[in-house]
Structure 1
């Protein structure tokens, strides 16, 4: 991850008020991370439809997700930003704070019909910068055959999850798998446990955050969660689940394509268990948003707004969500999506209570995330106590180091 200070310096000094190269008035570029063959094709098809509708050519440039921000920063420094930049929502605050983005209202993109949580997902300091076509979140996936054979129900509370995971741990099969790795995957997966317990990213060493981390530790202590969880990405977790090494897992809809390819795997999806019955299950919103780059050319920026409006229209959102198994951002599109894929309703319910990771702390999120990553590695491996690990995390988050 590029340090925030570097991001601010590169973008702020890039001289965004002008472009060093002359642009074709009929060609507009979208930079994204759709390098997966399916996602790249779906985006290309959507851009072809919008090109025809708008009477222009929309070109797609795709780079791996880990390289996208670096690529955008280099383009900013050479005054060659794309017209539309697709960012992970957690990156929006840093880029917006540095002046790299144009408020969407200024280019004719409205947040009408978008739930408040998803508007905040693409916002910084109260200003709407990123429009989502779809969003994702986390849920509890479970192997129906394994649970049925054991005669257990899908857990809905932490106590039930712990008991059920114990009952399902047999031989090489763990009861549950999740990612607690030292990367953003682990932090993303910790949020539902901390938030649903009343914890907050502004107070990492609170009793509520400690209880959430101690719950993870209890699963490891019971041996129903592998010690390797501290090394697993969400993709690793999915591999364990597909291989039958875990009866349940915490994961997201981006895994559905590979899960559905396993013809002998009969799985279900449920809301992530909560501390006590009746609590809200609050999970993080994930995904990308479309932003209008600050190119210094107001006419092009407004046309970029039209491109964003087309790509995020109800019909395009529904089409994209059905293909990708994500949840449409627009409320009416989401309602249509629910009707067509009722089996994914748990994901839609989880999105309804979803929160943005950056809503409260804005461009401080990368620092907070890194602090939590260190806390997981320290507490879950037994190097330090939960309290000491989270106190150190809060100190790091406060100091910015």
Structure 2
């Protein structure tokens, strides 16, 4: 998602990671370091490899370019927001803070972040979805070098052997999934778990069909949910999808137990270590001519309100560097994400053609908080509860959203 606050594991303990720059020490990392304005602290949740090391390379590059020394702290994803709120209350915020994009508006609303316009940071040239995600009450609060979204992975060998083309519409998806369901192999896999992951995976179908989170009890949303119900009820997808995380879905696909799956590019490194001959297309649409619309995942780099004007100015330069073309391209290539700088995307897809479908999807991807802001988590919960009700037969797709809202 990768909605990272919910997806990243919390196995690693709190770690302080000083970067390899002259004079850098780990002491005080995570809180504004005071003293030398050329030393800035950074807080993020990339506490697991390979992301931890890959992001460190990006941070090192910007620090070197700007002549800054940085002290970095990486915490488990589930702990970041609580730590941010605690440090805001104790006035020990870091100089640079990374946030999962759906969390930006919540933290900006608390007054903990400085708008980038205070530092004349140029926020033009980025895809609309990421700017929307980083905007609160008309002000942009952060930049992201690269982002992710969802697509349809398919097993090339299985589809070719069956004489089936990758589906582009729901009708084709249902037909292909049914034909590819043989023995212990399902045609289709997706995550319908009762967490934000389930909502995240459903959004491409809901949004592409014209459904909106502002009014869940609509025919468009019910029709999208009916698609998932049909796939499970006719046996084309396992009933276990209600318990599968996106990692579980990837495991099913990698083991040859699913011919197609909805998932994100963060799984590509793991898939490349298997014998699966895979490829991707955009998420199928209900009717030909519709534009596939998927949710936007990824992280935003922000400047907290620390009360130190000189440090904040340096932190803003650092954030601008993190959003630069060079960093965007490097981040996208090394981490299987998509640059947020629109003019960099063509160069990226030429270099990494396996990411072409995700790059197409990202251009029209939407921020989850774009319409509801801080209220998004409430509706996201209603959505995944409605999915659970429908897939377990406790409500029809027409009734599920209303029942979930009442529950």
TM over 0.5: yes
Q: How far, CA to CA, are the matches of 1:173 and 1:23 in structure 2? A: 61
Counterpart contact for 2:33–2:41, Cα < 8 Å: no
- Aligned residue runs from structure 1 range 40-51, under 5 A: 40-51=52-63
Structure 1 position 254 matched with structure 2 position 266: yes
Aligned counterparts, 1:137-176, within 5 A? 137-176=149-188
- Render the CA deviation track for 1:188-212: whole Å, top value 9, x for unaligned: 1111100111100001111100110
**Cα drift, residue 24 of structure 1:** 4.0
Report the alpha carbon displacement of residue 21 of structure 1 after superposing the two structures with TM: 7.5
1:73 aligned partner? 85
2:305 is the counterpart of 1:323: no
Give the drift of 1:344.
1.6
Aligned residue number for residue 281 of structure 2? 270
Map 1:71-150 → 2, pairs under 5 A: 71-150=83-162
Q: Does 1:294 align with 2:294?
A: no
What's the counterpart of residue 318 of structure 2?
307
Shift of 1:40: 1.1
- Measured after TM superposition, the shift of residue 394 of structure 1 is 4.3
1:89 and 1:130 in contact (8 A); partners too? no
Match of 1:6 in 2: none
- What SS does structure 2 have at the residue aligned with 1:255? helix
> How far has the Cα of 1:20 moved from its partner?
9.3
Q: Distance in 2 between matches of 1:335 and 1:395?
A: 46
Matched, 1:62 2:74: yes
- Which residue of structure 1 aligns with residue 197 of structure 2? 185
Q: Give 1:207's aligned residue.
A: 219
385, 388, 399: which one aligns with 2:396: 385
Structure 2 CA distance, aligned partners of 1:304 and 1:166? 53
Paired with 1:48 and 1:341, the residues of 2 have a C-alpha distance of 24
Q: What is the rounded CA distance, in whole Å, between the counterparts of 2:405 and 2:285 in structure 1?
A: 24
**Counterpart in the other structure of 2:13:** none
Rounded to whole Å, the distance in 2 between the matches of 1:150 and 1:48 is 49
Between 164-173 and 343-352, the greater mean CA deviation after superposition? 343-352
Matched residue, 2:359: 348
Tell me if structure 2 keeps the 8 A contact 1:205–1:394.
no
**Contact 2:169 2:286 (8 Å CA) reproduced:** yes
SS of corresponding position for 1:99: coil
Q: Is the 8 A contact 1:204 1:394 kept in 2?
A: no
Count of residue correspondences: 379
Residue 303 of structure 2 aligns to a residue whose secondary structure is strand
| In 2: Cα distance, 1:308 partner to 1:133 partner | 9
**Residues 27 and 59 of structure 1 are in contact (CA less than 8 Å); yes or no, is this contact kept in structure 2?**
yes
Equivalent-residue separation in structure 2 for 1:343 and 1:55 (angstroms):
36
1:217 and 2:229 matched: yes
Identify unmatched segments of 5+ residues in structure 1: 3-18, 397-401
User: How far did 1:395 drift?
Assistant: 5.0
- Range that drifts further, 19-28 or 347-356: 19-28
Partner of 1:239: 251
In 1: Cα distance, 2:236 partner to 2:137 partner: 42
The equivalent residue for 2:381 is: 370
Distance in structure 2 (CA, Å) of the matches to 1:265 and 1:23: 53
Unaligned runs of 5+ residues in structure 2 are: 7-30
Q: Any conservation in 2 of the 1:28–1:59 contact (CA below 8 Å)? A: yes
Q: Distance in 1 between matches of 2:90 and 2:34?
A: 13
SS of 2:41 mapped into structure 1:
strand
> Which digits, 9 at most, give the CA deviation of each residue in 1:320-359, with x for residues without a partner?
1100110001112222212211232111110111111111
CA distance in 1, matches of 2:34, 2:69: 16
For residue 84 of structure 1, report the CA deviation from its aligned partner: 1.0
Q: What's the C-alpha RMSD, in Å, of the aligned pairs?
A: 1.7
The whole-number CA distance in structure 2 between the counterparts of 1:282 and 1:155 is 16
SS at match of 1:37: coil
| Shift, 1:35, TM fit | 1.5
Q: Secondary structure at the match of 1:293?
A: coil
Q: What is the aligned partner in structure 1 of residue 368 from structure 2?
A: 357
Deviation at 1:295, TM superposition (A): 1.3
- What TM-score results when the alignment is normalised by the length of structure 1? 0.91
| Residues 133/20 of structure 1: CA separation in 2 closer, same or farther (3 Å cut) | closer
